[in-house]
Chains A and B, each alone.
Chain A
Amino acid sequence: MQESAAFTPQFAASAITGILWLIPAVPMAASGVIALLKQPRRKLAASLAIGSLSISLLLSLVAFCHVVAGWAHGAVVREVVDFTWFRFGSSAVDLGWVLDPLAAIMMLMVSFVGLLIFIYSVGYMAHDENFTRFFCFLSLFAGAMLGVVISNSLLLLFMCWEIVGLTSYLLIGFWYQKPSAAAAAKKAFITTRVGDVFFLLGIVWLFAQTGTLLFYNHGVGSLEGLALVNLLAQHAGLGLSAAGAIGLLIFAGAVGKSGQLPLHVWLPDAMEGPTPVSALIHAATMVAAGVYLVARVYPLMQIGAAPHGTTVALTVVTWVGAYTAVFAALIAVAQNDIKRILAYSTISQLGYMMAGLGLGGVAVGMFHLITHAFFKALLFMGAGSVIHGSHEEQDIRRMGGLKADMPLTFITYAIGMLALCGFPLLFSGFWSKDGILEAAQHWDISKVPFYLLVFGALLTAFYMTRQVCYVFFGHARGHGSAHESPRVMTLPLAILAFFAIALGVIGTPAWPWFRAFLENRATSFSWHGFTEPGLGLLMLLSSLVVFLGLGLGWRLYGNKSPKPEAPDALERSAPWLWVPLRDRLYVDEIYGVTVIAFYAWWARVADWLDRRIWGGIVAAVAWLFGLWARFNRFLDVNWVDGGFDKTCEEFSSGGGLLSSVEGGRVQNYLRILAAAVVALVAILLWSSRP
């Protein structure tokens, strides 16, 4: 492999970069318009949504071609457009977008898969009365996801990240009348929120340390030269540098969004949403956003690593990914809901992606993300087709023999399943998974992730075979006969199936175009890629593992069609294993007992406080006021009124008193006269004494 060329950034923003902001803006605007439409205007809503995403796809294609052209000329393409949002004091908060190979690949995938799923939804949601609302939320999601992809500012990324979380909540709880759906939506939002808290802490820390949240800003961005060196220099305890600590905090956000081990509990419940939602959001794009985020801030996590070594942050990422991969795969073995199996499979594959990022770098993880997006969307949409055809039945024990009834669905589903298992050579999943296994094999810290990931591959093959046997083979165990889905639903399946096979080409060791593209190196097709030492052995090993899993699955579940009530074959042979797996290894129960119980207790305490203490204070104040009012009334009645009344009485009686002077009795007048005369004369005489 060649060394990376000298970093010669291309600063000038080309025309396409200037209008790059349209890519997320157009679907968001369409969402706004659809929100104002009335429910019966379904054609218009669907047209707006599909049309806006088509525009985004077109623009993404143009941008992608531009980047490829730049790459082909050997230049390093990274174009940014920044602008200041607001200032405070001497600091400023900048936003912007970036166009580089990572963003180009991602936005192409998001818009393409998204468009296919939009078209699929027209058929799937045809009987739903809330058709318009569905497309409004879908469009908003697409716009926000594309915003996450092209964002050059961690703050803008976070804002779009939150909108993505919001639309996920809205879409999981789309059928909100179902209490399980509403609860699932709430669970998703709250669980991802836990991750987002750490994410926000990381953002704040980064801003505090570097003074900017832009990734790339002509050399002064937070992921560029000087800032990175500064972050590396500062120590944050536990053997981490500031860069590593910030990277881990941001990774915590990714843990929530991508359903890694402690915060994975929301993903299976999110299957309450309609199947297109599961396909788009919880398979291909939103959950991949976490992986994309880690890929974006990879310089933060990687800085300080020795040439073939790794950092603490990346080690953590690897371990979390590896354990998640196996944990989820184990649980998927014992599930009976068709979508839930796929959900756990998604969690497992996300673990693979994270492990790939940690073990082998951005290209390894991102390649698996791209291939996974296609075949997982295909699987979900196929599952949706099966559900649709089986009259809304979702339990695989009540399906069967659909191979004959739904041939097109079966073929595309099989292609997707084989890609997921990593069937050798033909399917893209093989190449992407092998890339991860190869990186794991060469990891110096420990070989345990390698063994875990191999075991996970075995489990993946096993549970997928189990699912396919239950659904498509044997005889029908449900009620009513199944029918094939309409063209509008099967056509996207076919397209995705094509890509599930074809995408493998760009990641083979013979022509590692994907890796070269992302790392800005030149590459060419050469069979010598296969002659790398150990590679052939690895390919053989992984193929054997896949065959083993497939064989085991076929052996146990084959063409048999056990009755729905009968216990599963594995359950019969190893019930001690089956029951904990079926009960999802009790993670939800643990949360219920610890975190949720604590919160419930805290809520009770708060309620008691509120009612007794604060309520008591309020009641006391009210009582005091009542007292004061009564006192005032007492004053008023007795003193003011009473005083007034008394005064009037006194006046009356005074008047009465005075009127007694005018008694009308002459003799009294005479007496007064005489007395007055006496007084006057006495005074006169007294004053004239000699």
Chain B
Amino acid sequence: MNAVFYLLAVLTIGGGLAAVLLKHLVHCALATTVAFSGLALLYLQLDAQFAGFAQILVYIGAVAILIVFAILLTRGSDLPQDGVFSRSWSVGFVIAAGVFAVLAWAVMQSVRAVPQQTAVPAVTVHDIGNALVGRYVLPLEIVALLLTAATIGAVIVAMHENGRPK
């Protein structure tokens, strides 16, 4: 499994890097999609099948499309004159590197504290469904509300003035 893991890791990380570093916005969106898919495969490898497929459906199927639409609507295909990176880009990279360093340090420190290998959990969709309406019914309802609100909000925000939808 190591090799698969490394492959998937490279895919994901590479997608992420590409998403951040490429110049054309559309290329970035596509690279993001690649990163999403890599992640979905990683979920599958982690025996979280539901999460993996949910990832594909939602992220690649909806979020990535949304991003592309947004790029289209904001004419993101035009390249800005001054370059795609802000003027103080090195500061951002340094901070990001700092964040990675801290996280890595935390991980490496706790290596001994957490079991690194366990048996495969026997989880079915049936169980997930039961959990959703059983133990996690409240978050479920709230998320439903949230999604409703988000939908309405997104519509209103993106609407033209004078109340006319585009």
A interface footprint on B84-95 (CB within 8 Å = 1, 0 otherwise): 001000011001
**Cβ < 8 Å to B, chain A residues 658-689:** 667, 671, 674-675, 677-678, 681-682, 685, 689
Complex interface: chain A residues within 8 A of B81 (CB): none
Chain A CB within 8 A of B6 CB: no
A301 to B62, CA, bound (A): 147
Bound complex: CA A685 to CA B99 (Å): 13
| A671 near B92: Cβ-Cβ < 8 Å | yes
Cβ–Cβ contact B106 & A678, under 8 A: no
Main secondary structure of the interface of B (DSSP, over half): helix
Which residue of the partner chain, among A667, A675, A681, contacts B106 with CB atoms under 8 Å? A681
| Contact across chains for A678 and B95 when beta carbons are under 8 A apart | yes
Give the contacting residue for A677; candidates B92, B99, B109; CB below 8 A.
B99
Q: Which of chain A's residues have a CB closer than 8 A to the CB of B91? A: 671
Residues of chain A within 8 A (CB-CB) of B95 are 671, 674-675, 678
Residues of A within 8 A of B (CB-CB), count: 11
CB nearest neighbor in B for A673: B95
Q: Is the interface of A mostly helix, strand, loop or mixed?
A: helix
Do the beta carbons of A685 and B98 come within 8 Å of each other?
no
B36-86, CB < 8 A from A: 86
Known contacts A667-B86, A671-B92; decide if A678 and B98 are in contact (CB<8 Å): yes
B102 within 8 A of A: yes
The distance in angstroms between the C-alpha atoms of A689 and B103, with both chains bound, is 14
**Contact between A685 and B96, CB atoms less than 8 A apart:** no
Q: A685 and B86: CB pair below 8 A?
A: no
Contact A685 B92 (CB under 8 A): no
Pick from B86, B92, B96, B102: contact of A682, CB below 8 A: B102
A685 to B109, CA, bound (A): 9
Which among B95, B96, B99 has the highest number of chain A CB atoms within 10 Å?
Answer: B95
- The answer to whether B102 touches A678 (Cβ under 8 A) is yes
**CB-CB nearest in chain A for B91:** A671
* Nearest-CB residue, chain B, relative to A688: B109
* Contact between B92 and A681, CB atoms less than 8 A apart: no
CA distance A92 to B102 in the complex (A): 110
In the complex, the answer to whether A675 meets B98 with C-beta atoms within 8 Å is: yes
B residues within 8 A CB of A667? 86, 92
Least CB distance, B44 to chain A, in whole angstroms: 30
A674 touches B109 (CB 8 A): no
Q: How far is the CB of A681 from chain B (nearest CB, A)?
A: 5
A570 to chain B minimum Cβ distance, whole angstroms, is 128
| CB nearest to A681 among chain B residues | B102
Residue from B86, B99, B105, B106 within 8 A of A674 (CB atoms):
B99
Shortest A33–chain B CB gap in Å is: 107
Q: How many Å lie between the Cα of A147 and that of B117 in the bound state?
A: 143
A678 x B92 contact (CB < 8 A) = no
A678 to B101, CA, bound (A): 9
**Could you jot down 22 A-B contacts, CB within 8 Å?**
A667-B86, A667-B92, A671-B91, A671-B92, A671-B95, A674-B95, A674-B98, A675-B95, A675-B98, A677-B99, A678-B98, A678-B99, A678-B102, A681-B102, A681-B103, A681-B106, A682-B102, A682-B105, A685-B102, A685-B105, A685-B109, A690-B109
6 nearest interchain CB pairs? A678-B98, A681-B102, A674-B95, A675-B95, A678-B102, A682-B102
Task: Write the residues of chain A forming the contact surface with B, with a CB cutoff of 8 angstroms.
Answer: 667, 671, 674-675, 677-678, 681-682, 685, 689-690
Q: Other than the known A677-B99, A678-B95, what 4 A-B pairs have Cβ atoms closer than 8 Å?
A: A678-B102, A685-B102, A685-B106, A689-B109
